[in-house]
Amino acid sequence: MNSKTTSQTTPYINQISKTTPSIVFHHLPTQQLGKSQTFFEYLHQNNPLVHESLDFIVSQNYKICSFIFDMFCSASLQVTTKLQIPSYFFYTSGANAFTVLLHLPALNNSWKSVVDHADVRSLLLPNTYLNIPGLPPILSTDLPSSSLNPKDASHEPFMFISKTAVQAKGIIVNSFESLEPRAVKAIKGGLCSPDSVTPPLYPIGPLIAEPTASSETCDCLTWMDKQPSESVVFLCFGSGGVFSEDQLNEIAVGLEKSRQRFLWVVRIAPPKEKNGHNSGSTEPGLDELLPEGFLERTRERAVCAGVPMIGWPLYAEQRVNRVALVKELKLSLWLNESENGLVNAAEIEARVNILMDSDEGRALKERVTVAKNEAKLALSEGGSTRNALAKLVESLGEGQS
């Protein structure tokens, strides 16, 4: 792992080690990522290290009852299968997105004649809908780019992940049944993987990291505490959500014209050299990137912070999540884009005002409140999440015999 990843995970590992000493972390030796090596190849090359680590644990007179692996570590199932350790596939996102991953082999088989003769993306027009069990009809362009295009470098790795999931003893997803009932039913019923036997599904969500304790008070939270209840629009676009200067301007203009209070988390991409690598030079300030006078004009009703958050559907499975949230769960509004992917200021202004000052927005908030209460119920004694977790623990314990 690189130093950035290590520095991000170290505080969490230290916290867990301190609060829960029964959890022991075994660190694999650091390996360098080769210049021509893909991320998936890098993870795969860790298999011998995983094998050595498991052998070491056994040598300390411990019995390994079960093994849980993240989707990106699917190659580790090859190791645990050889060692006859029951293994579970852990998908950290929700059930709706998982239906797409699980259905990839069947989806590609149905499009094989198209894929074999041309670039599938050029033949799947923007109005082409696909039917994936558990989801409403979804546009082909809303799937991750690797899903239907065998020429994409990530196509085969994700096909491998999909096929690995059904080889596990069980599948764990970060969801609960009442939130995504149709997707959960489709997965459990084997509809998403018709050519394989789907292992038991354990929806044990929502799994949410606890906030990190801090003695410092963030300026944005102090500002938030002074605002009326439910009066602030929060915008965040994830660690990979870096926008062009044109898009930043459109967002700024749309927010200003909406005249709503807002908290906007802005991540600025570091300057790059011609070879595409970070130049190491100082990044431009917000006053250089946003419209002239924007920060001053909106000072009384806005805060701009420079930390990464997750949100906007820009990459990976986020477009699938948007379809699920808007069309299936009805917990979100659709944001329209132009053909080049730009969301203009008028669209942002309109959607913000619909959310904050309309019957549609109020109805949306009511549905979100219902979902929030259902999540609490799922986590309570006798709730669906507690029941699924109990079944998972029982299954995990079977390896002790």
Q: Say which CATH number the domain at 125 has.
A: 3.40.50.2000
d(C-alpha 226, C-alpha 378), whole Å: 33
Q: What pLDDT shows up at residue 114? A: 55
Do 174 and 258 fall within a single domain?
Answer: no
Q: Is residue 167 part of a domain?
A: yes
Q: What pLDDT shows up at residue 298? A: 40
Confidence tier at 35 by pLDDT (50, 70, 90)? confident
- Helical ranges in 189-308 per DSSP H: 219-225, 245-258, 286-289, 294-297
Q: Which of 31-45, 119-133, 209-223 has the highest mean pLDDT?
A: 31-45
Q: Is the pLDDT of residue 2 over 80?
A: no
Q: Is residue 14 part of a domain?
A: no
What is the per-residue DSSP string for 288-345? HHSPTTHHHHTGGGEEEE------S--STTHHHHHHIIIIIS--S------TTSPPPH
Q: Which of 9-18, 105-114, 314-323 has the highest mean pLDDT?
A: 9-18
**Structural contact between residues 115 and 154, judged by C-beta atoms closer than 8 angstroms:** no
**Structural contact between residues 171 and 200, judged by C-beta atoms closer than 8 angstroms:** yes
Q: What pLDDT shows up at residue 78? A: 97
Structural domain span for residue 245: 219-357
Q: What pLDDT shows up at residue 169? A: 98
**Structural contact between residues 180 and 89, judged by C-beta atoms closer than 8 angstroms:** no
Residue 166's region, left for phi above 0, alpha for psi from -120 to 50, else beta, is: alpha
Tens-place pLDDT, residues 236-263: 776 667 788 888 899 999 999 999 998 8
Q: Is residue 363 part of a domain?
A: no
Tens-place pLDDT, residues 309-321: 223 456 778 889 8
Tens-place pLDDT, residues 52-104: 999 999 999 999 999 999 999 999 999 999 999 999 999 999 999 999 999 99
Do 277 and 345 fall within a single domain?
Answer: yes
Q: What pLDDT shows up at residue 394? A: 96
- Convert 92-130 into a string of H (helix), E (strand) and C (coil): CCCHHHHHHHHHHHHHHHHCHHHHHHCCHHHHCCCCCEE
Q: What pLDDT shows up at residue 335? A: 86
Do 166 and 279 fall within a single domain?
Answer: no
Do 229 and 339 fall within a single domain?
Answer: yes
Do 204 and 300 fall within a single domain?
Answer: no
Do 204 and 343 fall within a single domain?
Answer: no
- Mean pLDDT, all residues of the chain: 82
Do 62 and 190 fall within a single domain?
Answer: yes
Q: Is residue 11 part of a domain?
A: no
Do 280 and 175 fall within a single domain?
Answer: no
d(C-alpha 3, C-alpha 365), whole Å: 41
Q: Is residue 214 part of a domain?
A: no
Q: What pLDDT shows up at residue 119? A: 52
- Structural domains counted in the chain: 2
Tens-place pLDDT, residues 286-311: 555 554 544 444 444 333 332 222 23
Q: Is residue 9 part of a domain?
A: no
Do 173 and 272 fall within a single domain?
Answer: no
Strand partners, 90: 70, 172
Q: Is residue 116 part of a domain?
A: yes
Do 376 and 284 fall within a single domain?
Answer: no
Q: What pLDDT shows up at residue 37? A: 83
Q: What pLDDT shows up at residue 199? A: 98
Tens-place pLDDT, residues 172-210: 999 999 999 999 999 999 999 999 999 999 999 998 877
Do 246 and 190 fall within a single domain?
Answer: no
Tell me the percentage of the chain whose pLDDT exceeds 90. 47
Q: Is residue 362 part of a domain?
A: no
Least confident stretch, 146-150, 186-190, 195-199, 332-336 = 146-150
Do 196 and 261 fall within a single domain?
Answer: no
- pTM for this prediction: 0.84
Provide the pairing of β-strand 232-235 with 261-265. parallel
Residues 6+ apart with CB under 8 A from 178: 374, 377, 378, 384
